[in-house]
Amino acid sequence: MERKTVFKGRLLPYLLVAPQLLITIVFFFWPAGQAVWFAFLRQDAFGIRTSFVGLENFQDLFADPLYLETLRNTLVFAAGVSCIALGTALLLAVMADRQIRGAGLYRTLLVWPYAIAPAIAAVLWIFLFHPQIGMLGRALNGAGIPFDYKLNGNQAMLVVILAAAWKQVSYNFIFFLAGLQSIPKSVLEAAAIDGARPAYRFWTVTFPLLSPTTFFLLVVNLVYAFFETFGVIDALTKGGPGRATETLIYRAYIDGRVNLDLGMSSAQSVVLMLVVILLTAVQFRFIERRVHY
């Protein structure tokens, strides 16, 4: 039986939502509007004069081969982070869903890394892969395998992908575990009675029932890789060596904060904002339809 709240006056409902609306306008809509406006402007080197240039910033942006290279790096980075984070989290969730002794402690320990700040997570991976002070880095070099992510672009990309994916595994683990626990046990028992082996049961019964959760997490991980990995990249490689790990979000920071080119930086921010809108629209479109195989 549904219960509805009826307010006696019209003012109270608006007062209740006013704080949230104020925060949204000040910290989301206002900065986004400023970014869109500055994307159509160009300043001189000293920031004294500003002129309206229309779409020239966007034209220069997509005509820049370095930006296209950064876009390629971002796609490789996002694909790597999403695949590793989702695959590892699903494996850990399947293991944690079993009836074993100490399962509660095991699940709690797997969730903890999500509370670590991105920059701190990057420092932990420095202590692992740094060629001079890292445990694994020194071990690889000692074994005759040349490893220095500060000089090798492919190795640097691999390290930042692993660090960013490790940070996101805990988030994915929570959702996958909740999805596994929501699957009716009777369905799995019926498949077992029919003689289906565990691996076959997982890919034909369990994983299809996890498809809404998997698709939701895929979109969330792509957004995370595009926008929330600045701290990891800045602490580990600062976009190097030779722009090998420079992503779109880091390029926007370099152009706006370091090079003080607000027009180009704002144009890049608008492009990223359109990517978020597109991913969000796709997510709502397919999640509402309840994706199933």
Tens of pLDDT along 120-166?
888 899 999 998 888 999 999 999 999 999 999 999 999 999 999 99
Q: Which residue has the higher pLDDT, 245 or 195?
A: 245
| pLDDT for res 202 | 85
CB half-sphere exposure, 43, CA atoms < 13 A: 17
| pLDDT for res 103 | 67
As a whole number, the mean pLDDT across the chain is: 86
**Residue 124, exposed/middle/buried by CB under 10 A (0-12, 13-18, 19+)?**
middle
Mean pLDDT of all residues in 19-36: 89
Tell me how far apart the terminal alpha carbons of the chain are, to the nearest angstrom. 34
Q: For the whole model, what pTM was predicted? A: 0.85
Mean pLDDT of all residues in 265-292: 77
Distance CA(211)–CA(287), nearest Å, equals 10
Question: Which residue, among 240, 230, 206, has the nearest Cα to 118 in the 3D structure?
Answer: 230
Tens of pLDDT along 207-226?
888 888 888 899 899 989 98
Q: Does domain 53-290 have CATH number 1.10.3720.10?
A: yes
Structure tokens at 194: 């029919």
Model confidence at 177: pLDDT above 60 = yes
| pLDDT for res 293 | 44
The residue written with tokens 């890919």 in the block is 203
| pLDDT for res 173 | 92
Residue 195's pLDDT band, with cuts at 50, 70 and 90, is: confident
Tens of pLDDT along 196-209?
787 888 888 888 88
Residues contacting residue 77 through CB under 8 Å, at least 6 positions apart: 157, 160, 161, 164, 225, 229, 245, 247
Q: Where are the domains of the chain?
A: 53-290
